[in-house]
Amino acid sequence: MGVEIERKFLVIDGSWRSPSAGKEIRQGYIFAGRERSVRIRIAGATAFLTLKQARRGTSISRGEYEYAIPAKDAREMLASMCDGKLVEKTRYTVAVAGHDWVVDEFAGDNAGLVVAEIELDREDADFALPQWAGREVTTESRYFNVNLIDRPFCRWTAEEKRGEPAAAAGRS
């Protein structure tokens, strides 16, 4: 089983932008449970089926299986198996101090949300935090793509949109 170790941060300004083009991503979930999910993603001209599973005792690592699939199949699955609920975003890769960060600029019902992620080799790995990265939201479930399907950014409170922690925004 592959393991994904990821940290996620709010993006606080546009200084991360570079002239390189981003990649359009559309994704939906065939199954979304508390501890596992099955996702279909089309990223540019490629498509993937991804299965993720929470790992006990950690909040930033997940088991992950990812398989390339034909884009035609992915389009059919997004249309027929995901109830029309999609996350749409443009993903940019930004190099910072020897690490590649991905910055996701969301569209559709999640327009206005910009989140940066860094994948690490181990949970305690050191990395430089870019100046444009704000508060860490790795463990805040409202920022998980799987949850942006049912409760998109356009339905968040003003406090949540400012990136205040869920408790301060009156949510659990």
* Residue 89: closest CA among 55, 130, 44: 44
- Please identify which of the residues 29, 67, 92, 143 carries the catalytic annotation: 29
How far apart (Å, rounded) are the C-alpha atoms in residues 82 and 55?
A: 25
Amino acid at residue number 93: T
DSSP letter for 126, please. -
In the chain, DSSP assigns E strands to 2-11, 23-32, 36-43, 46-54, 61-69, 87-96, 99-106, 114-119, 133-136
65 is catalytic: no
Residues carrying an active site annotation: 29
